[in-house]
Structure 1
Amino acid sequence: MKRVFSGVVASMLAIVASAAMAQDKPPLKLGGILDMSGLYADITGPGSETAAKMAAEDFGGEVLGRKIEIIAADHLNKADLAANIARDMFDNQGVEMIYDVAASATALAAAEIAKARNKIIMFSGPGSIRLSNEACGPYTVHYVFDTFAQANVTGLAAVKSGLDTWFFLTADYAFGQDLEKDTSNVVLKSGGKVLGSVRHPLNTSDFSSYLLQAQASKAKVIGLANAGGDTINAIKQASEFGIMKGGQKLSPLLAFVTDIDGVGLETAQGLLLAEAFYWDLNDDTRAFSKRFMERMKRPPTSAQAGVYSSVLHYLQAVKAAGTTDPAAVMKIMKDTPINDMFAKNGRIREDGRMVHDMYLFEVKKPSESKGRWDDYKLLATVPGNEAFQSLELSRCPLVKK
């Protein structure tokens, strides 16, 4: 009996010691660098932080005996601030992985810090193709969309339908410039013509002079190489100027369901746009979006859905690797296909590009919509290997040729 009692006590002590050790382990911190208050706040912002927390909760709340902690900071759309936040997260706050980093200039700045620290950074909100080309890194993942895919899916479809002359309204920073360049290349290769372009500052309130130049060009398509509040303002003001009624087509080269809701179907109807995710696409997207809407009172954007998927993929890789070591975790993330509500058979390539299907949508007429957020009808599904830049064209130094 004494031996039995001693064994039970030893077992209990071992359990208590194990629990104490688990409590002594620091939390696994994942940090979001987001636009929480500016023109991209609806696209990423609090919704991205919520999506990351949902992924952590769905995973079980802990991994390798460590509680998962999701934190976030506002970069105010300033690249130097994004770099400082990334540096502080890695050096002082114990963050193991940074997620989202909305906007391209801020993402490029944060990427350099992550590379210098040999830490994993996973981008959902930014679009610049430089992130998986010149600015690629061994622990960098570009998850949701990029300027090449947006241009390829939207521009190609437009030119094929006869919309073959273009003029660009371009946000004057890395993302806008890349989007104009990539779309121009698609238009020209498809036999179309680019009649000109004009650059505007980020967060522009008055587009009148830019729209007048676009109108005067007589281009069949005015390509909006911007995003968020800039896209919404440009579409609204173009409608006020009667540009669409005059026969010119507006093509937002990056638009989200929140943008269309902000514009309204009466103005946005008929717009062609490329997206990586839509809440009403299938049963899986609807199930996730229902849970997200209970918290945020609006459906997720593709960037926010991508945050959920990327954080979950990272946590699964940490568990499989048995460590948070970036090299071990990245190997598993690249070796493991991604199958969830965001992507089917998605994969992370050697350049860090996560390849998955993209979708071409047309914005519904008000008469076709069943209610708020019922904004898109699917025109085409474009396989990932056709939508994204091929490895043969990659400018990433990590790609072996």
Structure 2
Amino acid sequence: MASSLRRLLAKIIKKGRLTVSGPAGSQVFGDGGGRTVAIRFTHAEAEEEVASDPQLKLAEVYMNGRLLFEEGDIYELLAIVKDNTLSEALTPGMIWRGLLRIAGARIRHGVPINRNQRNVAHHYDLSAKLFNLFLDEDWQYSCGYFNPPGISLYEAQVAKKRHIAAKLLAEPGQKVLEIGSGWGGMAMYLAESSGVDVTGITLSQEQLRVSRDRAQKRGLSDRVRFELQDYYYLPASTKYDRIVSVGMFEHVGRLNFGRYFRKAYEVLDEDGVMVLHSIGQPYPARYNSPFIEKYIFPGGYIPSLAEVMPAVERSGLLVSDIEILPMHYAHTLRHWRERFLARREEAASIYDERFVRMWEFYLAGSEMAFTHENFFIFQMQLTRKRLSVPDNRDYIAEREERLKSFDETSPPLEPVTF
């Protein structure tokens, strides 16, 4: 008798070729064209678990080594499913689990509890050795800018920093606040390329340690400082000429959008400029991916622009520019996944094989969000006064050209100390 999963796959997989084998035998799904994937379950129970809750159990079964690949990989498996139509395959179990998750998300979003530091620590306080396995030389853990196409990961991350710096219109001597300073690369780039004084804030102890060490080694401690600080509690009395936030807004949470932009308005100088770089999705989500929520980014939320704009408008900030980057994160994630898997034995030695499979699933699923689910990056430029930026976009390309001279002569980066 066919398992629940195989009955489900028979409804879903019409395009491509998916071979499923295990204790219940082997079965092929699809028309044979397109992607080809072959998987094997080590236990019959694993098939039933995946069928009961695919959004969570597929990841957990793979993480626990009960799903193996004989052809293809986890990204190809996720993609072959997304290549096909899913709406007709919803089971009663999936529907009621979805309803429970919607209810749970509404409760969480309605309870104003600040768990920022705990949530950040879950992900960003992992060993720095892990991130060293797959990030570029500057440890940029956000979307690169592959312009021109085909450049390396490191070149794309330099291009991203250059693109953002150009939009900031930073000038020597200005004070810059970076909300979510990561491992310090953006702050150091702005200080060196534009002559500004930067304060970076983070809630990660590990990122704070690495950032301070990098700035000290580069001789930037007098112009770049990093603090363990929640944006919630930034004093309104301290003003900044420029604010930049890259890859942090996804951790703010839908309930806190208003608070975030009000705080930005408070601390931004009257003639200041802010650039926000964030992942976006094409429509508001009813609930987060249960896998991402449980294992990767608890408390995170990928916004739609429709959810962001009302909070911006209520804060008093003015939108002076929005740019959409549709596929650049897909390219970035593909680089990260390939680099990570090339050093999977080292990753397993830091943690274990289960962690490696969990991280692979995270990177593959995130990439698929951009290749198959219309996720994108948005860069939003904000001001308090309408005339704080030019009334055309020519200045962005002009400033990028000037910054390229800095990039070509910038001294090599120091290796991170563990």
Q: Report the TM-score when normalising by structure 2.
A: 0.35
